[in-house]
Amino acid sequence: MQEPLQNTIDKVIQQLNRVKQISDSKFWITTEELGTLLELDIDTLNTLTSQAILFQFAWRNFICTLVSCQGNYKLWQITNQSELEAFSQGIVSQAEKAHSSVGQIEKTQQFNTVISQASSEILPSHFVQVENFLSATELEELFHFVIQKENDFLPTSNSVNDLDYRRSMFLPTFAPFSELMIERVKAILPQLISHLQIPPFQIDYVEAQLTAHNHGNYYKVHNDNGSPDSATRELTYVYYFNRSPKAFSGGELTIYDSKIENNFYVAAESFKTVQPINNSIVFFPSRYMHEVLPVSCPSQAFADSRFTINGWVRKG
């Protein structure tokens, strides 16, 4: 085989492997990243989606779907075409024919009639929970530290400025335990990314906050990267700790499966439940919709609260 042809084939294989990796992980990418990955003109993509409610197109044996559109900030998901039950075989064939050449993407009128159909596919959520995350000594020191800081806790807020959306308390600063948690999270990240099937990414920084949920506290359904200032959050983590024996009930973390509805990534009816196990930590993609169920703490004593160190891993 001639060397130039071999180089071309090698390049195609590398590109297909990268696309498949993103497809398998259900990872969202921006328009700029999609254009670079598929070698498409970004200006053309932006033009085609400027008025789109939901936009899809076929690329080889993959379907590219616009799943979130907030102003000029657009996010895409790549799905293996064989997994899209919502597309009939006839629709898929038409889409492939309409997009047999990347250079024909400008032919939008016919193309949009084919690709504007939405997939009703449920995207399952995935999480990893690790028990005995800190040593017994570290856990004891952390709990003692928090109890001594009771008067420094403040009411939490939320991005929607709804007083009934979230009820809990947080500690603004908690060194040296914030540094300890960030260090441990960074150390376990390579394993987590593999288990969660997330493509490796460059870490910008890791955030940490310490919260307390007492009687009647909760956090309604939300995701952690749905605003411009949080868009670079890739992974969310929640570390649980409490007095032993546990003096509260409830406070489970509900992580919803997802679906695409009206161009937005929304919670499906199905979900996974994470128990707040003492000295355990859970990791999941920040884009998942999730909530903290109400806590029941009969004593209402601060020391009997459901404590967490939660935070986010930012993509660089």
Last residue of one domain, picked from the residues 82, 115, 148: 115
CB atoms within 10 A of CB 86: 13
User: Number of structural domains, the chain?
Assistant: 2
**Structural contact between residues 220 and 165, judged by C-beta atoms closer than 8 angstroms:** yes
Question: Based on the domain organization, do 106 and 161 belong to the same domain?
Answer: no
Is 34 domain-assigned?
A: yes
175: Cα separation from own chain's centroid: 27
Is 121 domain-assigned?
A: no
Question: Based on the domain organization, do 140 and 287 belong to the same domain?
Answer: yes
Question: Based on the domain organization, do 283 and 201 belong to the same domain?
Answer: yes
DSSP-derived letter for residue 24 is H
Q: Which of 60-64, 118-122, 194-198 has the highest mean pLDDT?
A: 60-64
Question: Based on the domain organization, do 63 and 138 belong to the same domain?
Answer: no
Confidence of residue 298 (pLDDT cuts 50, 70, 90): very high
Q: Is the pLDDT of residue 24 over 60?
A: yes
Question: Based on the domain organization, do 106 and 134 belong to the same domain?
Answer: no
Region 9-26 average pLDDT: 85
pLDDT at 158: 67
Question: Based on the domain organization, do 162 and 272 belong to the same domain?
Answer: yes
Question: Based on the domain organization, do 167 and 273 belong to the same domain?
Answer: yes
Q: Is the pLDDT of residue 35 over 60?
A: yes
Confidence of residue 54 (pLDDT cuts 50, 70, 90): low
Specify the CATH number for the domain of residue 151: 2.60.120.620
Question: Based on the domain organization, do 267 and 171 belong to the same domain?
Answer: yes
Last residue of one domain, picked from the residues 84, 115, 146: 115
Q: Which of 85, 86, 63 is nearest to 76 (CA)?
A: 63
Question: Based on the domain organization, do 210 and 288 belong to the same domain?
Answer: yes
- 303 compared with 229, residue with greater pLDDT: 303
Question: Based on the domain organization, do 62 and 31 belong to the same domain?
Answer: yes
Model confidence over 177-232: pLDDT tens digits? 999 999 999 999 888 887 887 888 889 999 999 999 999 999 999 999 888 889 99
Question: Based on the domain organization, do 167 and 284 belong to the same domain?
Answer: yes
H or E segment at 56?
A: strand 56-59
Q: Note if the bond before 245 is cis, omega within 30 degrees.
A: yes
Region 77-103 average pLDDT: 44
- 98 compared with 126, residue with greater pLDDT: 126
Q: Quick one: 142 exposed, middle or buried, by C-beta within 10 A (0-12, 13-18, 19+)?
A: buried
Q: Which pTM value belongs to this model? A: 0.63
Is 122 domain-assigned?
A: no
Is 97 domain-assigned?
A: yes
Question: Based on the domain organization, do 175 and 286 belong to the same domain?
Answer: yes
Is 297 domain-assigned?
A: yes
Range of 307's domain? Answer: 128-315
Q: Is the pLDDT of residue 290 over 90?
A: yes
Is 65 domain-assigned?
A: yes
Last residue of one domain, picked from the residues 59, 89, 115: 115
Q: How far apart are CA 236 and CA 176, in angstroms?
A: 21
Our CA dihedral for 193, 195, 196, 202, rounded to 10 degrees, sits at 10
Q: Where are the alpha helices (H) located in the chain, listed in sequence order?
A: 3-25, 31-38, 42-48, 89-98, 108-115, 136-148, 177-195
Q: Note if the bond before 176 is cis, omega within 30 degrees.
A: yes
